[in-house]
Structure 1
Amino acid sequence: MNNVEVDRISSLPDEVLTHILSFLSTEDAVQTCVLSKRWKNTWAAVPILNINHKHFLINGCREEDYDCSGDSDEEQRIDVARSEFNSLGMSAARFQQFMTGFLDNRPPTNLERVNCVCNFQCWDRTHASMGWLDRVVLLMPLQIHIGIMGGGFSLDIPDLVFSCASLQHLSMSLSSLVKTIISPVSINLPSLKFLHLSVVEFHDDFAEKLFMGCPSLQKLDLSHCDLYFSSISSKVLKELTLISCNLYEQMQISCLNLVSLSMLIDLARGDISLKNISSLVDAVIELDLGDDVPNLNILGSLSNVAELKLYLVTPVLKEQLEKDIPNCINFNNLKKLVLEVRWDMCSDFYLIACLLKHSPNLKELELLLDESQGQIQEPRREISEDVLFQYEYLETVKIGPECEGELSSELINAIIKTLGRYVKKIGNLIIA
């Protein structure tokens, strides 16, 4: 960058300069202080901090340096490992020194967002400290996003993070085979609206503190978590997402203003019930059930949804939902129904027929089928009188594979023939 270019950029207003610097890593933003007097303190007003541990590694933690395959000399590999071990301590100290100096010299101006990526695989493998977040919280950030790589350690998140009055958005994404337990002494986040946690072991104690200490929480997103708590109860929560989570307790979800619900969970033990969710507009349901799970009772709680996606991926879930049909009242608001089916629906259409009959205002039906289905068979199950009906008209029917693949023409024709028993006319038939 020549002097003319520096001068042109330097003439820009402070707001523009700090916006530009917010796209750089925090370390690079600080280094601009050497350009000229104009830039000496510009870094201190940047509203977004982008912090990444890898910028402080001296010799790497490079994957190729740990490759013990091939004909590498054993003594050379030992020397590389010893060198890396020594440099990691220096890198950790360098990072801590930088963060301390940076945060101590940054004025308490409005801080919008903190993005931090930590790789504890390269540092202390038994204890992961995030103590510098104490100083970050004193800057009253609106958002904190933390991504952590590594596993098999205890994670030290300062309690001050869970009592930040300004915080509206908190995201902690861990990459590990071992679930991490987060256990703050208390939680007091009055402004928090969105919380995302992944690869966390979630206990009753933490759950109770969370829902009591976050009176403004509107969106809760848990992924790849082990859930050891029994209740999600909120009067303000609007969106709830439980993705690839394992449930170990009898759980009740009771949220008066819930609008969106996504549940892709493994009921390792216990079951789940839905109450007081009459505001629900769209729902995505996939449950992996054990053989000893009690009867489900969820269809009756979904009666007001406008869009429903059911992933019927296990025979046990299909059987449980069939038992739940008597508890189901009409889905009068349902306009779109998406079903992922992993059985020969032509030979056993009972559950789908029941869902169609209870959806009198349905406009769009999407069927995602197992492309590996074998030879089409004749119906094995008689459709009882209670589901003998026929739609006059469906606007759209989509038929496609559940994954990337191709459905056989025989299967598609059989599905269309089966649907013809229940739908007189289809406006738009789409084959994926």
Structure 2
Amino acid sequence: MFNLAHDIMIPPNTKRAKHDDNDNEEDRLSDLPDCVLLHILSFLNSKHAVQTCILSPRWNNLWKYIPTLKLHSSEFRTAKKLGMFVTKILTLRDTSTALQALNFKRIASFEPQRTLKEIVNYACSHNTQLKRLGISVKGDIGIILPRISSCQALTSLKLAVYGKGVSNCERTLFPKHLNFPALTSLDLSNFAFCANDNADHAEPFSSFSRLNNLIISRCSVRDASILTISSATIVHLTMCGNSSSDFTKIELSAPSLDTITFYGTPSQRLYGSSLSSVKQVNIDEDIFIRIGEPHLILLSWLQDLDNIKSLTVTAGILQILSLVPDLFNIKLPSLHNLKSLKVKLKPHPYGLSSYIRKEVVYKYKSRKEAHKIRLKEADEPYVIIPEGIVDFLLQNSPSAEVGIIHYMSKESAGNYPVG
């Protein structure tokens, strides 16, 4: 039989001696019932959970009954060691214990894919009990997606593909027809959605009848210009880094949609019957990428999301918005119901882009002040809220509460840099 604990870690003799010296001390943790200890162990990476078997005879076999598996490559020096550990833990784990959650993460070079297939096959052997599945790997996982579809009890699914090219044709294709009847949370990274037959739009989520939370990161659309998000149950939608020129519009057909969170540079227009149902919007820029006219797209979002009550933006987003020509002469038809406006003073990760610096900072600052900003950027990216932009957003809701959130999540009511 495999001695899994010895294969992954043998504590030095000095450490073992220290434990032996304390053998006579009261061990309150080991006196807890199995269900409590298993709950505690379920929060650990599987490697660490297995290592607890050396603590005492009480812990010797507990890890075999943990209902979760967390297999992260960061705990292993090589893919070979990871593969050996995966094989052994799947072999020794108690076969009668239902597997409720499995998370596999391998971002580094991943060859061969035997380990991934082994993990997926094991997960599918528990397909009637498995509730949460997460797979983040480098390479194409398209081959395993049909296999995963047998896990009909899934309520949460996270799939991320890394290391592939950034172009649309190199992303892993997300199947047109996947059916997870119990799924409530879906998180996808680096996928391409295919167009529907004889249509100019892709509609990949319509078959998920219970979906409540949807996250799409760095995804694209193939052979279509519109991504349609159609669901009667989606409440929370998060879009991250989907700054792509291969599709131009996002159609929202989700009457229960309440919250939209966006990270990146606005590059697709939003439209659809569900815009009026959205009550909370969070917009956070990352690295400024000028694809199309992000300032006009951002303005269209604020004009079309007319019933929102809470708006949270970064100073960088307000800088992008300030690029709209004659912005302060525009009368907003929206934001009449706004109750809360929060602005995050989040530094730009790589300093201000040359375009933003030229069009925003130098536009509102004197030459002397601009020179100070240029010098300061070397040590601390400068954050600026363009002058008049807050009043512009509040023109239809002047009594809305305004909050300034500093980078370390500390809020203050003033003393922020306004151009």
TM-score, normalised to structure 2's length? 0.64
Is 1:211 aligned to residue 217 of structure 2? Answer: no
Partners of 2:83 and 2:54 in 1: CA distance: 23
Contact 1:280-1:305 at 8 Å conserved across structures: yes
Partners of 1:246 and 1:365 in 2: CA distance: 28
How far is 1:8 from its partner? 7.4
Counterpart secondary structure, 2:123: helix
Do the aligned partners of residues 299 and 183 (structure 1) sit closer, same or farther apart at CA in structure 2, a change above 3 Å counting? Answer: closer
Do the aligned partners of residues 357 and 177 (structure 1) sit closer, same or farther apart at CA in structure 2, a change above 3 Å counting? Answer: same
Contact 1:232-1:253 at 8 Å conserved across structures: yes
Partners of 1:178 and 1:5 in 2: CA distance: 57
Structure 2 gap segments, 5+ residues each: 1-18, 346-355, 367-385, 407-411
**How large is the RMSD of aligned CA atoms in angstroms?**
4.3
Partners of 1:230 and 1:241 in 2: CA distance: 14
Counterpart secondary structure, 2:276: coil
Aligned residue number for residue 166 of structure 1:
153
Do the aligned partners of residues 116 and 126 (structure 1) sit closer, same or farther apart at CA in structure 2, a change above 3 Å counting? Answer: closer
Is 1:186 aligned to residue 177 of structure 2? Answer: yes
Do the aligned partners of residues 327 and 350 (structure 1) sit closer, same or farther apart at CA in structure 2, a change above 3 Å counting? Answer: same
Partners of 1:257 and 1:281 in 2: CA distance: 10
Is 1:94 aligned to residue 92 of structure 2? Answer: no
2:278 to 265, 280, 284: 280
Is 1:243 aligned to residue 240 of structure 2? Answer: yes
Partners of 1:253 and 1:317 in 2: CA distance: 26
Contact 1:168-1:194 at 8 Å conserved across structures: yes
Partners of 2:54 and 2:404 in 1: CA distance: 60
Contact 1:187-1:213 at 8 Å conserved across structures: yes
TM-score, normalised to structure 1's length? 0.63
1:21 to 29, 41, 64: 41
Aligned residue number for residue 313 of structure 1:
319
Partners of 1:141 and 1:321 in 2: CA distance: 52
1:298 to 285, 298, 301: 301
Q: Deviations over 1:234-273 (max 9, x none)?
A: 22111111122124213222321111112234466x6433
Q: Which has the higher strand share?
A: 1
Counterpart secondary structure, 2:148: helix
Partners of 1:160 and 1:351 in 2: CA distance: 51
Contact 2:218-2:242 at 8 Å conserved across structures: yes
Report the residue type matching 1:256 in the other structure.
P
How far is 1:173 from its partner? 3.8
2:215 to 200, 208, 221: 221
Report the residue type matching 2:304 in the other structure.
S
Partners of 1:293 and 1:35 in 2: CA distance: 57
Counterpart secondary structure, 1:246: coil
Aligned residue number for residue 66 of structure 1:
none
Q: Count residues with an aligned counterpart.
A: 339
Q: Deviations over 1:31-75 (max 9, x none)?
A: 7778898767543321221223455x5xx34xxxxxxxxxxxxxx
Q: How does 1:325-404 map to 2 (within 5 A)?
A: 325-326=330-331, 328-338=333-343, 342-343=360-361, 344=363, 352-364=390-402, 366=404, 397-401=413-417
Do the aligned partners of residues 322 and 238 (structure 1) sit closer, same or farther apart at CA in structure 2, a change above 3 Å counting? Answer: farther
Report the residue type matching 2:236 in the other structure.
E
Partners of 2:101 and 2:121 in 1: CA distance: 15
Counterpart secondary structure, 2:275: coil
Find the structure with the greater CA-based Rg. Answer: 1
Contact 1:367-1:400 at 8 Å conserved across structures: no
Aligned residue number for residue 114 of structure 1:
102
Counterpart secondary structure, 2:38: helix
Do the aligned partners of residues 208 and 5 (structure 1) sit closer, same or farther apart at CA in structure 2, a change above 3 Å counting? Answer: farther
Percentage of pairs with the same residue: 22
Do the aligned partners of residues 286 and 21 (structure 1) sit closer, same or farther apart at CA in structure 2, a change above 3 Å counting? Answer: closer
How far is 1:350 from its partner? 6.6
Aligned residue number for residue 187 of structure 2:
196
Partners of 1:204 and 1:285 in 2: CA distance: 27
2:135 to 136, 146, 160: 146
Partners of 1:312 and 1:346 in 2: CA distance: 16
Contact 1:300-1:329 at 8 Å conserved across structures: yes
Contact 1:236-1:258 at 8 Å conserved across structures: yes
Report the residue type matching 1:107 in the other structure.
S
Report the residue type matching 1:356 in the other structure.
L
Do the aligned partners of residues 336 and 30 (structure 1) sit closer, same or farther apart at CA in structure 2, a change above 3 Å counting? Answer: closer
Q: Which has the larger displacement, 244-253 or 349-358?
A: 349-358
How far is 1:191 from its partner? 1.5
Aligned residue number for residue 50 of structure 1:
70
Partners of 2:189 and 2:327 in 1: CA distance: 29
Report the residue type matching 1:195 in the other structure.
L
Do the aligned partners of residues 314 and 19 (structure 1) sit closer, same or farther apart at CA in structure 2, a change above 3 Å counting? Answer: closer
Do the aligned partners of residues 314 and 327 (structure 1) sit closer, same or farther apart at CA in structure 2, a change above 3 Å counting? Answer: closer
